[in-house]
Structure 1
């Protein structure tokens, strides 16, 4: 499945460009779309007693009318419902004229659990809440117990953001066309789509270049070429040296998780930077990870130069307050002076609550990453504290919120969640769906911080390192499954990396 994602406006442009370039006109594309919907219904619900096709006023309704015709020709009992009447002379009116039966009003819809419902009311471009008869249809479809096949997107789901606009259908399968939309990947819409199938309806791939796609699903093809590989003549420091700051004696576990993940990512050396009070606690748990006292920012800066640190992470379990802010400022200075990568998570973000501009001024990136990449990894609560005005309630999509935050901070932002969004200051963005719900466990985010830090330490650019780490983290979670705890994740990373290498070898060798 292609990883390009098109907004509703971009999809409308793709339709227009395809019609202008041929070979299909608008009705030809509609015929192809309706045929694809009918094929999915016949493939997955062949025993349905009756197919009920709910058609809206736009082209989605036209797709539904075409699907109804093909289902009828295949021998399935069909009822089509439509309101209001389509515009004269348009493709929907043509589809209505070609449907050989009487179309019923939407209010007449009534289904049972033995039937199948095709939701062709509204597609990805819906911009207003469902109300009136359309909201009633959502309730009637749900209460019927019939499986729903959605055309493009379940009606009521925003193709732009995945938000539910008033009410929304819950589909068992969704048939979309040419490319998926952000609403297929972003929650809550993702949870209402069921299995998404992308149908080829004759729109040529060439239109993507004219559209200028800038949003993708997070897949290895987006960052695989930048993933570091060790030099056979290298040594541990040439493979990158990551430094992870530890909290006090009662809060050391998060940093150790991050440190082990950094090591498992391929970094040649990892040092835990610990306050003196926690040295013995940390020493009792460490083997391959080195340990360094880190009570004074100047001493850490000197150590970073002497031992060639190439990336730092601060935040997991560190503690909120002035001390954290001072070490963040020191780390930001090292980034500017020596090109270190820098990951800020958890307490490092919360320490700047109320004064986010102080953090952004400290980073002083200005949108340019030559001096070393910075990655911020907030969950929604931390994001709202660091970027007031961009919280989940403002009506922007998660992608747009992450993009604006990245531009404001001059850093790559990983807005974490079940649908994590990674955004760069230059507007590049990916949505990650390759993950397990079992990753919602204490310490999981600390492992992600360590993975990003380890990849930065090996010279991977910030956006690519963040996107890769999120995917690797998700794959580890999928491999481990139920019962995983954060301590399991670092040990699963070698198998994930080996799987990528095996896939590369298979691709190079070609089919046998």
Structure 2
């Protein structure tokens, strides 16, 4: 693969956007739909062959619908039959009820079945579900029932076919998307095929990555069916679509130190964090900022907390912020202490472990209103903005990275329906004119211009306390080195997830702690990202 091509982001499309890409390719560029179907089916057949190991004499049962998804299945069946497999094709409709391209491929199967002296190709027109009991046990089942157009719960008999398919122990290959899975949200529409592997055509679909998609799709292969890249990229600009970054792209974006760098030119990150109850969060965030390359990290914390942090942080400078008699940060005195540092800093992080004392929250809001620094707002920094979200579009100006988990986001935005998570992140990133990093599995980043990124790295090992503090620290460390907020958020997510993947590959997912991310970050930066 050309390294320059690898550095391109990968489009992730909605069903509507994929249909538009198909239409453009067929109508504008003149590539016939029959050719696209042939390429798709042959690509799916190659994946099926790898799953089977040896194709000859193996038994394949292919369940095919009447649309183009079924047509891809017909091509797959023909290719595997030609390679010596015993293939049983099950349909619910006659050729007259199929799409034109699917019908043409089905009629070709009919001719082959009639001419097959070894009787290795069998076509079954299903009129009664009881007929399924007469099918042989298969080495591989193929789900080519429904494609990406499904938007309502499955009905009989498809629902029963899905249930029947899931009862078999043999591997299942889903074509384009497992039947019953919403391709835009990853929601299960009544019932869905639990595939071992999914081959999706042209580009990734949003529903393969979100919701129940990762659980039901198994391993996902994207098949190049001949749709030009510029058509897919144009389609990806539609609402609800997104992008995924590759290691090569992140490698391009990550900053490199100049040969004559010093600690201030490498970037001063100012972190306002910590409280009596939460002393670990500032340690995680500050260490992450330093590990990702910020030249000078200064942690400003309540004065009472400073002695505790001094025992945990040796390479990070500490600044004690005066407190009120009530126990929160004293706003006016704190600004006197911070004044010169705010001028020297390149980036600001507000929130990890800061606490919810009213005086502290008032200070956090005022700090964000006064600063022109690029800023990361996390945890209690976000809590300080609850009820004051009008401050975000007024002051963010594209410079802020907000890092809420789902609960924090709902406290900020209200009881938002997150079924269409990509559209929601698009809407709020544009409305608030900020970079919105909505944490989850996977996490999603929205840019102020409406571009959305779905993170390509990470695993359940990240479901442990403190990983959000590390992420916030990675973000501010990258900002301090001059990376724009848009790229800093995507890079921090990708790199942090890559470290979690490294840990899980060596030790599993249940044992990781947030501090393990800090331990293995340097090695992953070096070996995977050439830093």
TM-score (norm 2): 0.86
Looking at structure 1, the residues matched to 502 and 99 of structure 2 have their Cα atoms a distance apart, in angstroms, of 54
Quote how far apart the aligned CAs of 1:200 are: 2.1
Looking at structure 2, the residues matched to 404 and 455 of structure 1 have their Cα atoms a distance apart, in angstroms, of 25
- CA offsets 1:381-425 (integer angstroms, 9 cap, x no match): 112221114243xx32x2112212212322111111121101112
Quote how far apart the aligned CAs of 1:192 are: 1.0
Quote how far apart the aligned CAs of 1:290 are: 0.6
Q: Tell me the residue number matched to 1:27.
A: 34
Shift in CA distance, 480/501, structure 1 to aligned 2, threshold 3 Å: closer
Contact 2:12 2:236 in 1 (8 A): no
Q: Tell me the residue number matched to 1:77.
A: 86
SS at match of 2:319: strand
Shift in CA distance, 8/477, structure 1 to aligned 2, threshold 3 Å: same
- CA offsets 1:420-464 (integer angstroms, 9 cap, x no match): 101112111111131132121111111111111111122211111
Quote how far apart the aligned CAs of 1:145 are: 1.6
- CA offsets 1:79-99 (integer angstroms, 9 cap, x no match): 212224454671122122111
SS at match of 2:497: helix
* CA RMSD in angstroms, aligned pairs only: 2.3
Equivalent residue in structure 2 for 1:385, among 403, 408, 411: 411
Looking at structure 2, the residues matched to 37 and 488 of structure 1 have their Cα atoms a distance apart, in angstroms, of 39
SS at match of 2:464: coil
Contact 1:264 1:491 in 2 (8 A): no
Instruction: Spell out the pairing of 1:92-111 with structure 2 (5 A cutoff).
Output: 92-100=102-110, 101=113, 102-105=123-126, 107=129, 108-110=131-133
Could you list the runs of 5+ residues in structure 2 that have no partner in the other structure? 1-5, 114-122, 323-329
Could you list the runs of 5+ residues in structure 1 that have no partner in the other structure? 504-512
Give the number of aligned pairs.
490
Instruction: Spell out the pairing of 1:26-425 with structure 2 (5 A cutoff).
Output: 26-45=33-52, 46=54, 49-85=58-94, 86-87=96-97, 90-100=100-110, 101=113, 102-105=123-126, 107=129, 108-110=131-133, 114-211=138-235, 213=237, 215-295=242-322, 296-307=330-341, 308-335=344-371, 339-353=372-386, 355=387, 358-361=388-391, 364-365=394-395, 368-369=397-398, 373-392=399-418, 395-396=419-420, 398-425=421-448
SS at match of 1:201: coil
TM-score (norm 1): 0.89
- CA offsets 1:244-290 (integer angstroms, 9 cap, x no match): 22332331111111011011111111111111211211112120111
Looking at structure 1, the residues matched to 292 and 472 of structure 2 have their Cα atoms a distance apart, in angstroms, of 11
Q: Which range is displaced more, 458-467 or 28-37?
A: 28-37
Contact 2:364 2:384 in 1 (8 A): no
Quote how far apart the aligned CAs of 1:299 are: 4.0
SS at match of 2:437: strand
SS at match of 1:266: coil
Contact 1:246 1:256 in 2 (8 A): no
Looking at structure 2, the residues matched to 12 and 118 of structure 1 have their Cα atoms a distance apart, in angstroms, of 23
Tell whether 2:475 aligns with 1:452.
Answer: yes
Looking at structure 2, the residues matched to 237 and 103 of structure 1 have their Cα atoms a distance apart, in angstroms, of 73
- CA offsets 1:335-356 (integer angstroms, 9 cap, x no match): 3xxx312111122223444x1x
Shift in CA distance, 409/222, structure 1 to aligned 2, threshold 3 Å: farther
Quote how far apart the aligned CAs of 1:152 are: 0.3
Quote how far apart the aligned CAs of 1:117 are: 1.1
